[in-house]
Chain A
Amino acid sequence: MKEIVIISGKGGTGKTSITASFAALSKDAVFADCDVDAADLHLLLQPLAIKSMPFISGNVARINEQKCSGCGTCNSLCRFDAVQPGTPYTINPTDCEGCGVCVHFCPEQAIEFPPQRCGEWFQSETRFGPMIHAALDIGAENSGKLVSLVRQEARNLAEANQHELILIDGPPGIGCPVIAATTGAHAVFVITEPTCSGKHDLLRVLELTEHFDIPTYICVNKWDINPDMTQQIKIAGEEKGATFIGTIPYDQQITKAQIEGKTIVEWGDTIAAIAIKEIWNSFCEQLGIAS
């Protein structure tokens, strides 16, 4: 079983559209949407949930107004400016880090610390195969932990049903959710764009995958917007030890397909669809998975 994570560093490079196309082209895969903060893969794969579970993670402090004597201990200890003085004192749940320091040191034991529901995760069926995905509640924290959970559930499912491949739509950036999505994966596939920002962000992503020692593949979407920059990215990426796997031309049909809830490879033999198929075949060949 191989675990492939598709990321982009910078947002808006077409990562989800291309991941969905790979899903359509794959033969025997489980899909996981680990971009839990702004999950969009379901808009193209239209999963039907067969199981849904709450995601409980961490705790949040809450002052019991009956017991609060207004001594201010919590306020002086809180490092996250989450406590508002008053009678009684209150805690802003948005700012609360869930560290429990105030709970432990409150002399009146006036602070409750209930577990927090942070979201929901689903096991679903799509027209291309099974999918694990999640939705973080509004304002909830712990997206890194939800990413780990989605990934683990996808692994369990792939193992139980002997699927060959797990395709993961990864989060943007290089922080906690990306680290949770990529560490220990078989390969990272980075979709970037030929812009100064795209290159800048790609180099940070490559440093991260180097740091965690994960084989990394690069593809440039909308390459024809700036052919020079595409070339620069290829050179810079290969210098960093990544494999450059191909380019996809700018294709307005991708947005048209998205509006209809379709992947571009189902939409027709457009210029982008042809390029994506080629890239998928060569990627599968390099990783030894059946295309």
Chain B
Amino acid sequence: MTRDGRRLRGRSRRTGTPRGSGAQPAGTALRAVGLTRSYGRGESLLWAVDRVDLDVPAGQTLAVTGPSGCGKSTLLQLLGGLDRPTEGEVWLGGRRIDHLGERALAGLRCRSVGFVFQSFHLMDELTAAENVELPALLAGSSPRAARRRAAGLLDRVGLADRARHLPSELSGGQRQRVAIARALVNEPLVVLADEPTGNLDSAATRDILHLFDELRAAGQTLVMATHDERVAATADRVVSLRDGVPVDDTRLADDAGAGLGALLSWED
């Protein structure tokens, strides 16, 4: 699909002054500067993420929304160091990560970023507890410390009694809660969740949203990609992408029900 009209207008907006490298403001957990990822070349060149500037303050929950193919997953992968940008910078906790070597990046991903995926990505042959322990062990924890933390986290996500179950013995919602516990085990700077409720029914979705709410209360920085408006509406802030470009950035109030009365259409 060509997007020439927008593309040309977009590209010509670029000014001569090179933007931004430099330290991020204090209190920023995650920062993108001119972040761009293109695929293909020539006729099939496509900007999946197009010069995105984004600051995520520590403790914020941010939802990235937009229709399928707008670049949500690509953006999250760039932010988490799972993919490398074509142009631009990614800063995580005050450190620039986009040009790190593969080893350093792998270590950083393991210790500082917690990933949650739509299809859970648990290891089938490991128990719930072992799945949660694994990243802790990879980050150099002692087996004892890893076990203790995994047990604590499984308790926190309401699955203390499922610790010895294999993923195949758990429901989708339970698997995703294990995946969230795993994402938290190394106390990451940021949790990145890509369509975390995409494979879940509405009851399991509620469980995950409750869990995210607890994480938010605990000050965990969280960025989620979702095409579900009801999920996005639980975040502090919503950024909408279209064709890789942020077209809206809205802050949401968290005062439950402040204006709910306006929804009643009683006239008298």
* A and B are partners in one complex rather than unrelated chains: no
Interface residues, chain A, with chain B CB atoms under 8 Å away: none
